[in-house]
Amino acid sequence: MTETRPKYTVTKGVHTRRALTSDELSNVLAQASRLGTTPYTVILLAARTGLRVSEISNLKQSAVVVAGHIVETITIDAETAKGGQGRNIPLDQLMREQLRECNRKWLVGGLGENANDRFFSNRTGSGPLNERNMQRWYKACAEKAGITGTTFHSLRHTFANQLRRVTDLPTLQYLLGHKHLSSTQVYTHPDSEDASKAIARAFS
């Protein structure tokens, strides 16, 4: 059954930023898989960790791969994190497997680890993957999937919206790397279904 698209929006400037439904995310990922391993991995990583596009671009190889193995928890240090809010983000099995595949294809290509210690590199391995490329990948995938009113940053909202259903705001604040709880609240999108569940739990 197809999900109904949420009516909420979060607007900043001229961009409408909202969370994707699970169906929309699946469709975006299906389109991304056609672009290649790296685009798919980047978009999946944003949706399953809430990392900002700048944090993905600057994600260190040493933060993802240790002794030839994909780590269970990615460490975003203060230097990489926006606002200097470092954090440790656990990776689920699917994400680890995808990162492993992405790393394998990079090494098989004969380029090895790039000189800047970035997990996602440009085609020559001489520097980090450009943020604009990631944003273009998302835009192309969303358009092909028939999804409007979203940007790459919507993947971060999608992560937050899914997590806030199963955890508390302080934990979500930590995972998003926010200094202030008020910033985290912008990423929460309660709807009528949440309200119904809250009433049912309170008076059951």
Active site residue 189: no
Residue in 118, 153, 164, 189 annotated catalytic: 153
Question: What b/e readout covers 172-197, taking b as 16+ CB neighbours within 10 angstroms?
Answer: bbebbbbeeeeebeebbbeeeeeeee
Active site residue 82: yes
Residue in 5, 82, 96, 144 annotated catalytic: 82
Active site residue 178: yes
Closest CA to 163 of 174, 152, 153: 174
Residue in 60, 118, 157, 178 annotated catalytic: 178
Active site residue 144: no
Q: What Cα–Cα distance (Å) separates residue 136 from each residue in 29, 40, 89, 152?
A: 14, 13, 25, 9
Residue in 17, 52, 118, 189 annotated catalytic: 52
Closest CA to 89 of 25, 180, 159: 159
Active site residue 156: yes
Residue in 17, 87, 187, 189 annotated catalytic: 187
Residue in 87, 118, 156, 157 annotated catalytic: 156
Active site residue 15: no
Active site residues: 52, 82, 153, 156, 178, 187
